[in-house]
Homo-oligomer: A and B are copies of this chain.
Amino acid sequence: MSLTENNSTLTLDEIDFRILKILQNRSNLTTKQLAAKVNLSNTPVFERVKKLEKAGFIKNYIAVLDAEKLNKGLMVFCNVTLKEHTREIGNQFVKDILSLDEVVECFNISGDYDFFLKILVTDMKEYQNFVLDRLGSIKNIGSAHSTFVMGEIKNTYSIPI
């Protein structure tokens, strides 16, 4: 076996997809429970999961926390433009954003704005402080436009498979 285990030609069958589908909704199942759901015995299911981990289809296992209970119930989308679009200024912006814990997502986007930020804060007061103190201290931001989440219809981390 190669050291890098770069099994790039790995193709998944129906059962693999079913396993992924189940695990991205709930990962704290025993092998036996998972096996029952896909109508196989322990061993093949165990080996398939390990294969999916090794091949990178499963990147990680995480606990999903309750934002409300942890007092981070206000979600804000902030669309940002940069004053200039050189690689250097872009890199610095990225570095700055990565250090802000309130920013849980950040994407480079097409359209009128350069970056889309998803931000989690306690309340409007905290958001104001975030914009003034933390986002405001980042250099080369041209404009920032905030949109506030009023209600959650669907909020998954699931890939449509």
Contacts and interface: CB of A to CB of B under 8 A. Distances in A.
A67 interface: yes
Most B CB within 10 A of own CB, among A20, A55, A58, A160:
A160
Interface string A117-161: 000110000000000000000000000000111111111111111
A115 B150 CA distance: 10
Copies of this protein in the assembly total: 2
Most B CB within 10 A of own CB, among A26, A98, A108, A159:
A159
A1 interface: no
Given A106-B154, A150-B109, A154-B106, A26 B61 contact: yes
A147 B110 CA distance: 6
Contact of A61 (B63, B72, B97, B105): B63
A28 B61 contact: yes
Contacts of A75: 107
Interface of A: 20, 23-28, 55-67, 69-70, 72, 75, 77, 94, 97-98, 101-111, 113, 115-116, 120-121, 147-161
